[in-house]
Structure 1
């Protein structure tokens, strides 16, 4: 799975999905405004 942090525009996330990629975003996971360390830990725990 690709975890897109808040610097990745949602149209990019949606475009990846249309191309068959498994993607989630910081917005969808309620991770907006979290620290870089928190994003990294979330991504690590969720592969």
Structure 2
């Protein structure tokens, strides 16, 4: 069997920048807050 050589962009790994980590955490936090808010609103409407 022949092994496929990985593409050049798959060989390199870059750590996330602090700004990227902060954006990810803000996005996840906002998503969780909005999800809880949506569930709370839907339960109070019933």
The TM-score range, normalised by the shorter chain, is: 0.3 to 0.5
- Larger helix percent: 2
TM-score, normalised relative to structure 1: 0.32
TM-score, normalised relative to structure 2: 0.32
- Larger strand percent: 1
The structure having more radius of gyration, on CA atoms, is 2
